[in-house]
Amino acid sequence: MTTTTTESTPVLKEMSFLDRWLPAWILLAMALGLLLGNFVPGLNTALEAVKIGEVSLPIAIGLLVMMYPVLAKVRYDETQRVTGDRKLLVLSLVLNWVAGPAFMFALAWIFLADLPEFRTGLIIVGLARCIAMVFIWNDLACGDREAAAVLVAINSVFQVVAFGVLGWFYLQVLPSWLGLPTTSADFSVWAIVLSVLVFLGIPLLAGFLTRTFGEKAKGRQWYEEKFLPKIGPWALYGLLFTIVLLFSFQGEAILSQPIDVVRIAVPLLLYFVLMFSVSLLASKAAGLNYAKSTTVAFTASGNNFELAIAVAIGTFGVTSGQALAGVVGPLIEVPVLVALVYVALWAGRKLFPGDPTVPARAQGVRS
């Protein structure tokens, strides 16, 4: 996806009303979820009455609604150019599956050495690479949609193959080598496969079929100028709905353990900010343009908290410290990555002068 900088439209004026006030909507959704979870008796029981694996059906629906419009925007006939970009693919794999888990492991032991349950939960979050909300952040920052689709698909394959192995390595092997306490955890391969199939497979297939048949019936111009603007807002509706439900599940635990939440939040905040910054700079140094650099940065810094929460609940229980650490993940990730959308746009203007993929809206983001 390429956009030009021929106009210096301020970012807030160019964005839609929903996009413009997204940080406020997200904070309201988080607050509403916390209040519902804390003051509505029996809500969690009702929400968990039907599940897909270990994930509540309403949350699964919210995620599907969130991801479908973004995946319907992808030009699938252009993904071949991404698969031929070896620098992008290798850089993304290294950042996601080597740097990311190792960095989260280090942060977990630095900040939570005396809290083994939270430490383990944080490490599990680091192993669950992003396959869902990254599409939202990447789209808001005008990253490369086709690159995002390819990198998320690769992450999904690695998730199925590598999650259990990396969990064994970071919870048992590496701590043993370093003389640290180890943690035993049996990961359900089926839970991981189901998470990938549901949260990526279904909306990916729906998006592909929608574009294929929509363009065949009405043409690309109609599809992109008439159809996509109608379904586009549903991505953010789904995001806000999902956030309300996620925070309602552990509203009581979050409000009753504020000190623990803060201790978990600090390493998460450092992780998201530093992973994004390092990934963006590494991508620029590798010669990638703004759109691809932004996509690499968001795919490397985001995490699949749906999978992390499902694994933590399935392995350690719904009231465990590991599950709480998983829930604190989106509590920090969502507002931080919204802020990083603006950082990406600012970096586009500062670090990528003359790059045709820098969006016009970046000209309105001031330092």
Question: Mind listing the pLDDT tens digit for each residue in 188-226?
Answer: 667 667 767 777 688 888 988 999 999 999 999 999 889
Is the Cβ–Cβ distance between 96 and 299 less than 8 Å?
A: yes
pLDDT at res. 88: 93
Q: Tokens 């500062």: give the residue.
A: 350
pLDDT at 8 over 50: no
Domains of the chain: 22-364 (1.20.1530.20)
- When comparing pLDDT for 187 and 139, which is higher? 139
pLDDT, average across residues 19-45: 80
Q: If you average pLDDT over every residue of the chain, what do you get? A: 83
Residue 314 pLDDT grade (very low, low, confident, very high; cuts 50, 70, 90): low
pLDDT at res. 14: 52
- Name the burial class of residue 85, with classes exposed (0-12), middle (13-18) and buried (19+) by CB atoms within 10 angstroms of its CB: middle
Question: Mind listing the pLDDT tens digit for each residue in 53-96?
Answer: 666 788 778 878 887 887 888 788 777 777 778 899 999 999 99
Cβ neighbours for 23, distance < 8 A, ≥ 6 positions apart: 335, 338, 339
Residue 291: in which H helix or E strand, if any? helix 290-301
pLDDT at res. 20: 66
DSSP single-letter state for residue 352: -
pTM of the predicted model, to two decimals? 0.79
Tokens (6 digits) for 296 = 């690499």
- Name the burial class of residue 337, with classes exposed (0-12), middle (13-18) and buried (19+) by CB atoms within 10 angstroms of its CB: buried
Provide the phi-psi class of 287: left if phi over 0, else alpha when psi is between -120 and 50, else beta: left
Is the Cβ–Cβ distance between 299 and 133 less than 8 Å?
A: no
Residue 2 pLDDT grade (very low, low, confident, very high; cuts 50, 70, 90): very low
E-strand ranges in the chain read: 51-52, 55-56
Report the amino acid identity of residue 7: E
What phi and psi, each to the nearest 5 degrees, are found at residue 56? -55, 140
The mean-pLDDT minimum among 127-141, 197-211, 304-318 falls in: 304-318
Closest by alpha carbon to 174, among 226, 121, 212, 120? 120
* Rounded-to-integer distance, Cα 23 and Cα 337, Å: 10
Q: Is the dihedral of CA 295, 274, 96, 25 positive or negative?
A: negative
pLDDT at res. 167: 87
Is the Cβ–Cβ distance between 274 and 103 less than 8 Å?
A: yes
Residue 5: in which H helix or E strand, if any? none
